Amino acid sequence: MRITAAVASILPLALGARLLKARGGTPLNSYIVVLKEVYNGGEVTISDVEDGLGDVNKTQTYTSAVGFRGFAAKLNATQLDALKSSPKVDYIEEDAAVRISGSVTTQTDADWGLARLSSRTPNGTTYKYDATAGAGTCAYVIDTGIMIGHSEFEGRATWAGNFVDKNDTDGNGHGTHVAGTIGGVTYGVAKQTRLFAVKVLDSSGSGTNSMIIAGMNFVVQDAPKRNCSKGVVVNMSLGGGRSTAVNSAARAVVQAGYFLAVAAGNESNDTDLYSPSSEESVCAVGATTRNDSMASYSNFGAGVALFAPGSDIKSAWNDGNTKSISGTSMATPHVAGLGAYLMGIRGPMSGSAMCDLVKKSALIGKISGVPNGTANRLAYNGGV
């Protein structure tokens, strides 16, 4: 659940756009170009800034998200200089490599995380939930894909978008596991939500910031077409070094009215250093263990909205079976699923309103090892 390179420094330019440099990772010779919304009283389009650049090798276009318009492209030096000088470009960010972190695999069959979500005390074995179970909601999984034919999904999983390759399969398993926790019939929080796969990471768990942004941009465009009468949740069990472009795209998802749950990260560090968890409008989720302690790997800080079970979580896998793995990647879908579950009962809610609700509904002071400056909140469905 980790992006291996981070955007950190801003190089001031005499004219036009800022250039945001990527630190570390593999140089991609690719850039994310973010346009200004308005210039000289008129809306800025991609074609406006392409004029005079010659043949631009665009790899992604971003046209639908609220407050986020632009493209990703492999640029030569002349094209890059021209875009940096354009008054219609807000900023340019070097694309960066993306990768999920290694998951800790175990052979245990414990389904403790789901039970914890509906109990005021640890070590329960029963998951209590309202029979609506997220019916009428849609859950987007921006990840490695979903094995849509898995029995856990009962035909409720659909391929929606693929920004990696032409293979609509989950070659990794991570996305299928996440989807199972959100909406699987056995392991899911919201057992009647519809699941939509948006593939931004390949079978090794690798991708780029531009792919992740394309996935978020796609969700904003696609969700209104899906008849999600009770509301939309979006899960991003990935993240990495702080990125202005990734944060902007995440903010656009929330501004469009959708609940966005993101992983706090597995670096044992302050979540403010990473994206999209450092974006203030998202709901960043840290991880706990079965004994209600903060997981040793979990990120922390003021940006963490709440915690959820993340260690040794059993869910669906891409071979048609199940697997138990650990990470804030596993905690996040508990909260995304909780969002879908609550919308199934209450009806549609904005992303910010839902994040406020899951924080207010959380159990307070139950988690050991939470550092000062981090809210001690544990996800809870009300015990219904």
Active site residues: 143, 174, 329
Q: DSSP 3-state assignment of 99?
A: strand
Q: DSSP 3-state assignment of 139?
A: strand
Number of CB atoms found within 10 A of residue 53's CB: 16
Run of H or E including 84: helix 77-84
For residues 9 and 23, give the distance between their C-alpha atoms in angstroms, rounded to a whole number.
Answer: 8
Sign of the alpha-carbon torsion through 290, 294, 300, 302 = positive
Cα torsion at 349, 351, 354, 359 (round to 10°)?
-170
Q: What is the DSSP string of 312-349?
A: SEEEE-TTSSEEEE-SHHHHHHHHHHHHHHHHHHH---
AA letter at 38: V
φ and ψ of 38, to 5 deg = -140, 140
Structure-block tokens of residue 312:
């040794």
- Cα Rg of the chain, angstroms: 20
Tell me how far CA of residue 201 lies from CA of 3, 190, 209, 286, in angstroms. 11, 24, 10, 22
Run of H or E including 354: helix 351-361
Burial class of residue 142, CB neighbours in 10 A (0-12, 13-18, 19+) = buried
Helix and strand numbers (H, E) in the chain are 8, 23
For residues 189 and 85, give the distance between their C-alpha atoms in angstroms, rounded to a whole number.
Answer: 49
